[in-house]
């Protein structure tokens, strides 16, 4: 509401100034110069008064901006009778502020699209029927109907067999994502297929989309350090302007030359080109699923020299996958997996759930187990299709079938060995590992090309597991076995060499993310605590988007610097020309507005930054390790 009132006020000032300029010209060419002067003054005074009020507000908050030059030029033009020049400056100044508002609105359009997509109600199953309820009435456990085209209102798990959801508004993924029964659905995504049922897991205020909206609002309200730096530059520019104007008057005795210098030095929207460029960068990054919490973090992100990566869930996928199935009793590999997965449906252990997911991905139909008993940290025993099945660690299963554990020293570090027994016989083993993310190597190479000097791995996992995972990645350092406070110490140590970025996804990463100059959270599957502590959230579960975000940040900052340097440089050249009498006050005003418009349009180039998207290779099984799994945990 406040923004709307401000925009209307700026529009009104522009209309008054423009009307005064045009009406004054009409009277002037009608042979009534005195009336023209009066009309021009009437058009200038409201713009000058609004400008003075804005300057006083800035001074009270300790800021000195280039608007002082605009006030000086209008005042000097009125004092020395250059009313037409004053009217032109008033139109140009009010037009510049209007253009600023329009440019910033254009830069934030994609963010407003996010806000406009917030659903107001949801369809809930109740007593055998359907009811439309406000979002704040949805509670975890409610069963919701998501119709085709609906925006998913809250985070939840899929209760139908399959669903197709469009996450492009959140992640930049162009193709719909297929979800299976039990999969997590992110609020803010759109149902691109048939209607499906969703079991709510969060209230609306705690869901992913609500968090994104809050981050967007914070981003829009932020002011970049570069903007404050530009304000400090204004002191030097103001001194240069006054010096040139005074010298022109002193050496020529012509006050009109001083007025012309002041008019040329009216860079009304110049300094706002910086936030326009950075806000445009925020919008562009959000399009690719990189949500940056403000222009400040974006500007810092562009200067990063050191990158610290967590391993599990960041550099690796974070979910164990089957890399091999060894059969010992002539049973087919497919049968071993199917029976193990059928029994593991009764367990919530990450490894058990990974086995179930692997079986479903292969299209296996899993029967319901019976008489299931789970021994925490050891394994699961039960019956599937009338056969007794045991799934768990090798030692646990071997003891249950009356045999000694085998020698599995050849298994790669960090791999998990899951034994499977059927009717008292050891039938095989499932070898599982946490694979390196596809394209991790290409992502790191791209970051080095973007100027990242040091890339380190920080993990709580064992050193042998971390070394195997990072083999061939060319990291500059590896720190294993770290506790959360040790990760913080590593971040603080590396900050001595320049700005540090930390990337993580777990609760244990949150302190380090908060300590880093820029903390990046893997928000698609990461913990809420890490997303809350981070400055940047990757909304899509792809580590390569980090490189895109940095490339966009550096592009936006480069464009912002270009805008400042070009705008101030051209203004100084114009002032010198005016001091030597080559520009009249009216010509100077027109020239300065051309410069201002050009600078704003240049800043908007940040909306067209096209980062180089890496080519992700086909998935391949890479043995690695998961922090808790690698330490011997079994289903």
Under CATH, which number does the domain 321-433 receive? 3.40.1110.10
pLDDT score recorded for residue 382: 93
Q: Are 177 and 164 in contact (CB under 8 A)?
A: yes
Q: Are 504 and 521 in contact (CB under 8 A)?
A: yes
Nearest in space to 63 (alpha carbons), one of 262, 227, 255: 227
For the ranges 120-129, 233-242, 316-325, the one whose mean pLDDT is highest: 120-129
Strands 177-180 and 162-166: antiparallel
Summarised one tens digit per residue, pLDDT across range 170-212 is 654 555 678 888 888 888 888 888 899 999 998 888 776 776 6
End-to-end CA distance of the chain: 55
Summarised one tens digit per residue, pLDDT across range 350-387 is 678 889 988 988 888 888 889 988 886 678 999 999 99
Sheet of 162-166: strand order equals 177-180, 162-166, 190-191
Give the helix ranges, DSSP H, for 581-623. 585-603
CA distance 446 to 498: 20
CA distance 635 to 630: 13
CA distance 468 to 465: 5
565 pLDDT higher than 50: yes
CA distance 372 to 380: 7
CA distance 239 to 72: 13
Mean pLDDT of the chain: 79
Give the helix ranges, DSSP H, for 528-622. 528-533, 545-579, 585-603
CATH class label, 289-317+437-553: alpha beta
Band of residue 141 on the pLDDT scale cut at 50, 70, 90: very high
Query: CA geometry: angle at 488 spanning 482 and 494, to 5°?
Result: 100
Nearest in space to 422 (alpha carbons), one of 332, 513, 512, 535: 332
pLDDT score recorded for residue 223: 46
CA distance 3 to 20: 26
313: DSSP letter: I
CA distance 630 to 577: 72
Quote the tokens at residue 310.
Answer: 């967590």
103 pLDDT higher than 90: no
pLDDT score recorded for residue 603: 86
CATH class label, 139-202: mainly beta
Summarised one tens digit per residue, pLDDT across range 306-354 is 999 887 667 777 667 787 888 887 888 899 999 999 998 888 776 788 8
316: DSSP letter: B
CA distances to 98, 507, 518, 535, 543 from 513, in Å: 39, 10, 7, 8, 16
Quote the tokens at residue 350.
Answer: 């990450």
Strands 290-292 and 184-185: unpaired
- What angle, 0 to 180 degrees and rounded to 10, lies between the N-to-C axes of helices 33-60 and 67-79? 150
* Contacts made by residues 620-623, CB under 8 angstroms, sequence distance 24+: 620/435, 620/438, 621/321, 621/323, 621/433, 621/435, 622/433, 622/435, 622/436, 622/469, 623/323, 623/412, 623/414, 623/415, 623/433, 623/435, 623/468
Summarised one tens digit per residue, pLDDT across range 567-617 is 888 888 999 999 999 988 888 878 877 887 888 888 888 888 888 765 554
Nearest in space to 607 (alpha carbons), one of 543, 545, 560: 560
Band of residue 406 on the pLDDT scale cut at 50, 70, 90: low
144 pLDDT higher than 90: yes
The separation between CA 590 and the C-alpha centre of its own chain, rounded to angstroms, equals 39
CA distance 99 to 256: 29
Question: Which helix (DSSP H) or strand (DSSP E) does residue 536 occupy?
Answer: strand 536-538
For the ranges 381-390, 508-517, 527-536, 540-549, the one whose mean pLDDT is highest: 381-390
Nearest in space to 279 (alpha carbons), one of 561, 10, 560: 560
CA distance 516 to 488: 8
Catalytic residue among 310, 394, 434, 509: 310
CA distance 477 to 454: 8
pLDDT score recorded for residue 170: 61
Q: Are 192 and 176 in contact (CB under 8 A)?
A: yes
DSSP 423-491: TTEEEEEEEEE-PBPTTHHHHHHHHHHTT--EEEEE-SS-HHHHHHHTTTS--SEEE-S--HHHHHHHH
Q: Residue 409: CA atoms inside 13 Å, Cβ hemisphere, count?
A: 1
Q: What are residue 445's phi and psi, to 5 degrees?
A: -60, -40
Return the domain boundaries, the chain: 139-202, 289-317+437-553, 321-433
**Torsion angle in degrees (nearest 10) through CA of 365, 156, 507, 341:** -10
Summarised one tens digit per residue, pLDDT across range 463-472 is 777 777 777 7
Q: What are residue 139's phi and psi, to 5 degrees?
A: -120, 155
74 pLDDT higher than 90: no
The contacts of residue 499 (CB under 8 Å, 6+ apart) are: 300, 303, 304, 305, 306, 517, 518
pLDDT score recorded for residue 40: 93
User: pTM higher than 0.85 for the full model?
Assistant: no
Quote the tokens at residue 183.
Answer: 């999969």
* Residue 310 designated active-site: yes
Q: Are 323 and 431 in contact (CB under 8 A)?
A: yes
């Amino acid at each position: 509401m406040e923004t709307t009132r401000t925009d209307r006020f700026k529009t009104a000032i522009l209309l008054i100034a423009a009307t005064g300029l045009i009406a004054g010209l009409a009277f002037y060419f009608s042979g009534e110069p005195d009336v023209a002067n009066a009309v021009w003054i009437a058009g200038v005074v409201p713009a000058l008064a609004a400008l003075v009020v804005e300057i006083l507000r800035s001074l009270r908050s300790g800021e000195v901006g280039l608007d002082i030059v605009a006030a000086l030029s209008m005042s000097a033009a009125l004092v020395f009778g250059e009313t037409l020049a004053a009217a032109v400056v008033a139109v140009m100044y009010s037009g510049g502020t209007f253009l600023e508002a329009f440019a910033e609105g254009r830069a934030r359009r994609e963010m407003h699209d996010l806000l406009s997509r917030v659903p107001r109600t949801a369809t809930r199953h109740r007593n055998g029927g359907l009811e439309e309820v406000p979002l704040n009435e949805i509670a975890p456990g409610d069963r919701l109907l998501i119709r085709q085209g609906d925006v998913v209102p809250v985070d939840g798990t899929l209760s139908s067999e399959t669903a197709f959801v469009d996450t492009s508004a959140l992640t930049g993924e162009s193709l719909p994502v297929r979800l299976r029964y039990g999969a997590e659905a992110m609020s803010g995504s759109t149902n691109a297929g048939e209607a499906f049922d969703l079991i709510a897991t969060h209230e609306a205020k705690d869901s992913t989309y609500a968090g994104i909206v809050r981050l967007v609002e914070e981003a829009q309200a932020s002011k970049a350090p570069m903007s404050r730096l530009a304000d400090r530059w204004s002191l030097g520019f103001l001194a240069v302007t006054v010096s040139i104007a005074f010298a022109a008057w002193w050496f020529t005795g012509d006050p009109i030359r001083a007025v012309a210098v002041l008019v040329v030095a009216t860079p009304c929207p110049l300094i706002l080109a910086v936030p326009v460029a950075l806000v445009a960068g925020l919008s562009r990054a959000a399009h690719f699923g990189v949500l940056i919490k403000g222009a400040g973090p974006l500007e810092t992100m562009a200067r990063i020299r050191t990158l610290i990566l967590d391993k599990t869930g960041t550099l690796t996928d974070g979910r164990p996958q089957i890399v091999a199935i060894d059969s010992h009793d002539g049973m087919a590999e497919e049968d071993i997996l199917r029976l193990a997965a059928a029994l593991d449906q009764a367990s919530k252990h990450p490894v058990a759930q990974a086995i179930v997911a692997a079986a479903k991905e292969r299209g296996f139909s899993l029967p319901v187990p019976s008489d299931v008993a789970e021994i925490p940290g050891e394994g699961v025993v039960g019956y599937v299709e009338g056969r007794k099945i045991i799934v768990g660690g090798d030692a646990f299963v071997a003891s249950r079938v009356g045999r000694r554990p085998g020698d599995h020293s050849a298994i790669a570090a960090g791999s998990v060995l899951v034994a499977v027994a059927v009717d008292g016989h050891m039938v095989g083993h499932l070898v599982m590992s946490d694979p390196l993310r596809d394209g991790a190597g290409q992502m790191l190479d791209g970051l080095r090309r973007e100027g990242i000097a040091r890339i380190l791995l920080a993990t709580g996992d064992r050193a042998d597991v971390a070394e195997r995972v990072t083999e061939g990645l060319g990291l500059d350092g590896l720190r294993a076995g770290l506790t959360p406070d040790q990760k913080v110490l590593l971040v603080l140590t590396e900050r001595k060499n320049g700005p540090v970025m930390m990337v993580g996804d777990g609760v244990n990463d949150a302190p380090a993310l908060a300590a880093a100059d820029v903390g990046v959270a893997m928000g698609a599957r990461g913990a809420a605590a890490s997303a809350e502590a981070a400055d940047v959230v990757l909304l899509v579960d792809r580590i390569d988007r980090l490189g895109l975000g940095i490339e966009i940040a550096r592009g936006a900052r480069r464009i912002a610097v270009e805008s400042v340097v070009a705008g101030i440089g051209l203004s100084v050249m114009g002032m010198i020309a005016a001091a030597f009498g080559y520009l009249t006050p009216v010509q100077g005003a027109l020239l300065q507005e051309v410069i201002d418009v050009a600078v704003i349009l240049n800043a908007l180039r940040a909306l067209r930054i096209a980062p180089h998207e890496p080519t992700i290779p086909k998935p391949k099984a890479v043995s690695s390790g998961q922090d808790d799994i690698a330490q011997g945990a079994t289903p």
